[in-house]
């Protein structure tokens, strides 16, 4: 287009110069002035023709280079996106892309304490779970660097974080791979029971699968704690954050909002969040977290996997039944089969030695003194039967009273609302001298 215009202009100039030569020949005859004008005009014609040739050639070369660069760029982009995927670098999605993927945020999967999860399909056909985070307070830089750190961790038992979406205004999003069989709560708790999950579609995982899930989760946490560059604290280990894939393998999810702890730090300070019933007592009392908080939550989950019921079960407005306490009693009485999910007992096939091992590991994990709890690497060893496990020390489990909170602090899913303060509540069958019990709990912890 540009070349055509330049040629037209050049043609007009040459035409004008020829007309100039002809008219000067007619008016000036063969005078000296005519020859001067004629020479200048011919020189000008040469100059114009040369400029046009150079310009056309230059444009043709530029176009060729542009095409070459474009195709190289496309190749590089494909390679780059492939390398990002392989290296686990999170993709930055545009809000519009997520809107299209989720069909306008229509297919809701679930709602948790920190956000809402939608099902979606990306333009390349990848099935994803898009989590819209409500009330995210971190700055953009901190959010991005944490997302990058988390997305780079790769383990078969961790749900992959594929990307994120961040805009100057509006909510932030995390994009996870979609896991088809939903969360563990739907596979271990009996629906409509008082102590059950109250979930949507409830299946019942067999004993063997429960044992495998327990080991899968322990391996994922062990990897986060011990095998990454920084120690990654999950801080919200609970059945809702353990997803079950089509092969009934467990994948720990929702670690996109966890904390990084330097290898030389013993604890990091962070505000209390997480979910009631799974929070380690020292977090509530001292506001500091370490990998031992995840160990505590894991122990609580392990008991729920075995029992097929929630650890804290509401009996009346202010009375709660605490399952771990029942487990301790039954262990002493050597009647452990009584604490196993009834549906599994009916089917049979429970190896009592494995049951005993799982219960003892869980009781070690929920020790009030964080120091006494094993590491997640040790938990894996114990669960896989590679080490002899001693009996856990007696715990009074009084600190749990701090973890139970009133209805006002719960959202509609039974999760702690943000900023809800722990309160003292009465436990079913407790020693009447509960206040002495509370002070024991405090003093035993502060003596760490
Ligand atoms: N990657 C995923 N694939 C399939 N389902 C998912 C995925 N991530 C989450 N879900 C489903 O969405 C539900 C809500 O998830 P979300 O993480 O928001 O809530 P939560 O874990 O219950 O609460 P919180 O945000 O307080 O941890 C989960 O219980 C799970 O069933």
- Ligand 1 centre to CA of 112 (Å) is 6
> Using alpha carbons only, what angle is made at residue 13 by residues 8 and 14, rounded to the nearest 5 degrees?
95
Check the CA dihedral 228-233-236-237 and report its sign: positive
Please tell me which of 28-37, 257-266, 307-316, 423-432 the model is most confident about, judged by mean pLDDT: 307-316
pLDDT(436) > 70:
no
Give me the pLDDT at residue 113, please: 73
Nearest Cα residue to atom 18 of ligand 1: 112
Whether this model's ipTM surpasses 0.90 comes out as yes
Residue whose CB lies within 8 A of the most ligand 1 atoms, among 102, 118, 241, for a mutation test: 241
- Ligand 1 centre to CA of 25 (Å) is 92
Give me the pLDDT at residue 33, please: 86
Residue whose CB lies within 8 A of the most ligand 1 atoms, among 151, 184, 243, 251, for a mutation test: 243
pLDDT(131) > 80:
yes
Contact 283, 289 (CB under 8 A): yes
**Neighbouring C-alpha atoms within 13 Å toward the C-beta of 85:** 9
> Which range is least confidently modeled, 64-78, 84-98, 411-425, 433-447?
433-447
Give me the pLDDT at residue 435, please: 28
Burial tier of 431 (Cβ tally within 10 Å: 0-12, 13-18, 19+)? exposed
Give me the pLDDT at residue 112, please: 77
> Which range is least confidently modeled, 242-251, 391-400, 402-411, 430-439?
430-439
Annotated binding site: 131
Q: Is 213 in the pocket of ligand 1 (CB under 6 A)?
A: no
Check the CA dihedral 329-333-339-340 and report its sign: positive
Give me the pLDDT at residue 24, please: 85
Contact 322, 404 (CB under 8 A): no
Contact 277, 422 (CB under 8 A): no
Give me the pLDDT at residue 434, please: 30
Q: Which atom of ligand 1 is nearest to the CA of 413?
A: 22
Reported as a single tens digit per residue, the pLDDT across 92-115 is: 899 999 999 999 999 999 887 778
The catalytically annotated residue of 3, 103, 216, 236 is 236
- Ligand 1 centre to CA of 295 (Å) is 21
- 203 falls in which pLDDT band (50, 70, 90)? confident
More confident residue, 441 or 358: 358
Q: What percent of the chain has pLDDT over 90?
A: 43
Q: Is 181 in the pocket of ligand 1 (CB under 6 A)?
A: no
Q: Is 243 in the pocket of ligand 1 (CB under 6 A)?
A: yes
Residue 185 among the catalytic residues: no
- Ligand 1 centre to CA of 385 (Å) is 31
Q: Is 415 in the pocket of ligand 1 (CB under 6 A)?
A: yes
Give me the pLDDT at residue 91, please: 86
C-alpha distances out from residue 166 to 19, 36, 98, 106, Å: 67, 72, 11, 20
pTM for the model: 0.73
Count of CB atoms situated within 10 Å of the CB of 77: 10
The number of residues making up the chain comes to 448
- Ligand 1 centre to CA of 111 (Å) is 7
Q: Which atom of ligand 1 is nearest to the CA of 254?
A: 17
Give me the pLDDT at residue 420, please: 42
> Which range is least confidently modeled, 135-149, 229-243, 339-353, 395-409?
395-409
Q: Is 281 in the pocket of ligand 1 (CB under 6 A)?
A: no
Residue whose CB lies within 8 A of the most ligand 1 atoms, among 105, 108, 109, for a mutation test: 109
- 193 falls in which pLDDT band (50, 70, 90)? low
């Amino acid at each position: 287009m540009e070349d055509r215009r330049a040629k037209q202009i050049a043609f007009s100039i040459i035409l004008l110069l020829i007309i100039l030569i002809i008219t000067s020949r007619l008016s000036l005859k063969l005078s000296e002035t005519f020859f001067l004008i004629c020479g200048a005009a011919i020189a000008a014609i040469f100059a114009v023709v040369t400029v046009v040739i150079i310009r056309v050639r230059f444009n043709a070369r530029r176009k060729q280079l542009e095409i070459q660069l474009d195709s190289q760029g496309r190749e590089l982009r494909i390679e780059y996106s492939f390398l990002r995927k392989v290296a686990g670098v999170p993709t930055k999605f545009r809000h519009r892309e997520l809107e299209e993927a989720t069909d306008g945020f229509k297919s809701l999967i679930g709602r948790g304490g920190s956000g809402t999860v939608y099902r979606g399909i990306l333009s390349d056909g990848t099935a994803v779970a898009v989590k819209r985070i409500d009330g995210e307070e971190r700055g953009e830089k901190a959010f991005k660097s944490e997302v990058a750190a988390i997305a780079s961790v790769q383990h078969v038992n961790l749900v992959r974080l594929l990307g994120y979406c961040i805009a100057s205004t509006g909510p932030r999003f995390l994009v996870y791979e979609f896991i088809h069989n939903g969360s563990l709560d739907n596979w271990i708790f009996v629906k409509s029971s008082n102590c059950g999950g109250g979930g949507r579609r409830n299946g019942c995982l067999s004993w063997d699968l429960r044992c495998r899930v327990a080991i899968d989760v322990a391996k994922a946490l062990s990897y986060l704690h011990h095998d990454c560059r920084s120690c990654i604290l999950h801080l919200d280990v609970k059945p809702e954050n353990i997803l079950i894939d089509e092969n009934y393998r467990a994948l720990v999810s929702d670690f996109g909002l966890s904390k990084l702890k330097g290898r030389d730090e013993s604890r990091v300070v962070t505000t209390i969040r997480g979910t009631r019933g799974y929070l380690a007592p020292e977090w509530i009392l001292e506001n500091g977290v370490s990998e031992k908080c995840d160990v505590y939550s894991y122990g609580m989950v392990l008991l729920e996997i075995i029992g097929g019921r929630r650890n804290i079960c509401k009996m009346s407005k202010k009375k709660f039944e605490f399952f771990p306490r029942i487990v301790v009693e039954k262990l002493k009485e050597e009647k452990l089969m009584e604490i196993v999910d009834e549906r599994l007992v009916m089917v049979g096939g429970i190896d009592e030695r494995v049951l005993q091992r799982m219960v003892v590991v869980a009781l070690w994990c929920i020790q009030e003194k964080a120091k006494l709890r094993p590491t997640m690497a040790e938990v894996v060893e114990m669960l896989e039967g590679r080490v002899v496990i001693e009996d856990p020390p007696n715990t009074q489990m009084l600190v749990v009273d701090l973890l139970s909170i009133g209805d006002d602090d719960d959202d509609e899913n039974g999760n702690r609302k943000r900023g809800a303060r722990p309160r003292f509540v009465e436990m079913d069958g407790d020693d009447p001298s509960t206040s002495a019990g509370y002070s024991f709990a405090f003093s035993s912890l502060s003596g760490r």
